[in-house]
Amino acid sequence: MKNFLYIGFAAAIGGWSRWGIGILLNSLHPIFPIGTLTINLVGGFLMGVSMGAFEFFSDLSPDLKLIINIGFLGSLTTFSAFTAEIFQLLQKNELVSSLTLIALHVVGSILMAYLGWLTIGFIKQSI
């Protein structure tokens, strides 16, 4: 029950963060949803940091992993908003923008996760 509440609380914070950042950044560009892209790239980086932290620092609580990865990051990053934005671009016949956005989200998030993981590896080596 404890994890259920912690994950729910972290998910609320992640969802609120996504909502606020999306409102702030998506208003900067009328066609290209920069907010969702930024959120997913930052979320990818933070997931890499989390994965690295739990790999390199074995004394971290498995409960903390659930709270961070499933609760906060699971609700911060958003595949459903990404899908909706791609669909809206396709409805407007913005094929190049759609394909660019797909590549940026997918490849960018994976690269950011790797960068986050490397960052924790460097921190571990310097300790």
Counting other chains too, the contacts that 31-34 makes at CB distance below 8 Å and 24 or more residues apart are 31/89, 31/92, 31/94, 31/97, 32/97, 32/101, 33/81, 33/85, 33/101
Buried b (16+ CB within 10 A) or exposed e, 84-110: ebbeebeeeebeebbeebeeebeebbe
* SS3 category, 80: helix
Q: Does 20 carry a binding-site annotation?
A: no
Q: Was 38 annotated as part of a binding site?
A: no
Binding site for Na(+): what residues are annotated? 74, 77
